[in-house]
Chains A and B, each alone.
Chain A
């Protein structure tokens, strides 16, 4: 049908082709001349722009005075920041994987991830300190990189006021990419830092903002790294790095003008050397490390984290360890956790026996096991190791008739909240350290720590240690 239609519409192929070619030529000539005209017009516009030395304030290159700004300082800070941010990105991706988002939609805080979840894998259940280390590094290193980021941004600030603002399409695209880079960096650091202080002012879920924001940032960072690598190599090769690190303030000289837009054409006398500036930023990192690492390490070092959210002791006694959601906040009523509390244990699939309904006394009569585990929060702090006693999850699986469960859905008495329910993987269920804990450090759980029963699983994110458990459903 279509070919017939075509053949009817093709009466004189040669003359048509000639006419088409002529038309194309005219079009091309027109395009070229209009492009040339547009180019001339753009150049005229550029010529009409004021010259840099006539500009006001920061747009005038000679209004920048620091003698240490230049490719050397920016390259060194850029390399340090790049290394740190790659660790942040890797630990961030691992933390997302630790929630086992592929196991169940209930575990996935960013279900629209699409291809961005390409790397996901089943999170291991050992070693027990895995998530604690991952998040301790992610959050503490994130804090430590703030002064490095500030110094890096300071070192390139004149570029924000470049003149003319756009030289050509390449320059325009690169500036757009830099907007994503700087915006992404500050956005990621700001959301992370505000979240660990539980100041929920950002628009939407922290998980959504921090996860997708990280991808915007890293996409811009990869392009920036690719485009700037030649400059960094050119700047630092030939012993330039060590030579500058041996130079004190008195001998610090401005770099030669190089067209990078970083070197001041009117440098003041130096008040700090380049190594001094690096030490200043590095000193900030060290201070942040000293004042926050204690909340991840725990024990007597916790008190050294005087400015970190979980640096305070929570009192002595068996329940004297960190809390991140109280029974009152979760809306747990005393009547629900009293003598009427029952744990429902069941399994999915055909021919399942009626659910078992267990009292706390019946659970305590089952074989009790003790595991020494810590609760490790996505916010970077850890409870530092408690002795949990209760029933093994795998014993409860057998009770439900699921010897090899494919998953475990844990449900809490909580009314709402993103982590009212969590799904655990087979490895997490079968780990001998995974418990439905009834007691901690030799005493019954307190209300805020999840009485009557809570889950504790090695190497899992803190929120998967569900408190105030009411129902366990093993998948078959």
Chain B
């Protein structure tokens, strides 16, 4: 038993849990692929590849590029950490597009034929929500910048120990933590 455990690399409970899981998954998968086995497998594989090797690298790259580009082009950065004021509205807008792109991009859906509703508003609604998110974010950043340039009475708040009001440090500076 001990030899088996050493060869397998985990305790037998691990093996039993996974075999049980594969049994149930296999039972369902046999029905899942029964009509279009290749197409279903392509969809399943495509789900993993599409997310892990396409979508995520793309948005990670966008995030890094935004950080790098703004840092290089704008030598005088605001004195407060600003990246999340860009990251959050862009991320939320991207999330809405990711979910509703068939309607927003007016792909060949049955939507109009079966509901009698027009698919036209979705693009405008998405743009409007995106605009509102960026405006809201800009307003919040403006408020924060204003507070940073007119600090409250000295002594009421302990000085921040990193990038924050009063310390013009870039968020990606190697700080004491890295």
Chain A residues packing against B (C-beta within 8 Å): 35, 39, 67, 110, 112-116, 143, 146-147, 150, 153-154, 157, 160, 167-171, 173-174, 176-177, 179-180, 182-184, 186-187, 190, 193-194, 197-200, 202-205, 208-209, 212-216, 219-220, 222-223, 226-227, 249-254, 266-272, 276, 280, 283-284, 287-288, 291, 306-307, 309-310, 312, 314, 322-326, 329, 448
Contacts and interface: CB of A to CB of B under 8 A. Distances in A.
B172 A269 contact: yes
Contact of A197 (B103, B113, B175): B103
B31 A110 contact: yes
A307 B32 contact: no
A197 B97 CA distance: 13
A120 B25 CA distance: 20
B84 A272 contact: yes
Interface residues of B, number: 79
Interface in B1-27: 7-10, 14-15, 17-18, 20-25, 27
A272 B28 CA distance: 41
A223 B17 contact: yes
B61 to A, nearest CB: 12
B91 A280 contact: yes
Interface in B150-177: 160-164, 171-175, 177
Contact of B114 (A143, A254, A284, A326): A326
A250 B25 contact: no
B52 A216 contact: no
B178 A190 contact: no
Nearest to B53: A160
Contact of A287 (B25, B87, B92, B104): B92
Contacts of B83: 271-272
Contacts of A146: 95, 98-99
Interface in B64-107: 67, 81, 83-84, 87-88, 91-92, 95-96, 98-100, 102-104, 107
Contacts of A219: 21-25, 28
A250 B164 contact: yes
Given A223-B18, A284-B95, A307-B96, A198 B111 contact: yes
17 contacts: A67-B178, A112-B34, A143-B99, A177-B21, A202-B43, A204-B40, A209-B32, A209-B43, A215-B27, A216-B25, A219-B21, A219-B28, A252-B177, A269-B178, A272-B84, A291-B129, A307-B125
B173 to A, nearest CB: 6
Nearest to B96: A307
A268 B174 contact: yes
Given A310-B117, A312-B118, 15 more contacts: A114-B31, A170-B10, A170-B15, A199-B102, A200-B109, A202-B43, A203-B42, A204-B39, A209-B43, A213-B32, A250-B160, A266-B178, A306-B128, A314-B116, A329-B113
Contact of A323 (B24, B50, B116): B116
Contacts of A267: 177-178
Contacts of B96: 287-288, 291, 307
Contact of A306 (B36, B47, B102, B129): B129
Interface in B119-173: 121-122, 125-126, 128-129, 160-164, 171-173
Given A170-B15, A203-B39, A324-B114, A208 B121 contact: no
Interface of B: 7-10, 14-15, 17-18, 20-25, 27-29, 31-32, 34-36, 39-40, 42-45, 47-48, 50-52, 56, 67, 81, 83-84, 87-88, 91-92, 95-96, 98-100, 102-104, 107-111, 113-118, 121-122, 125-126, 128-129, 160-164, 171-175, 177-178
The prevalent SS among residues of A at the interface is helix
Select the residue from A205, A270, A280 with max chain B CB neighbours within 10 A. Answer: A270
Select the residue from B39, B44, B67, B87 with max chain A CB neighbours within 10 A. Answer: B44
Contacts of A168: 7-10
B73 to A, nearest CB: 18
Contact of A182 (B15, B23, B48): B48
Contact of B99 (A115, A212, A283, A288): A288
Contacts of B129: 291, 306-307
Contact of B52 (A157, A180, A250): A157
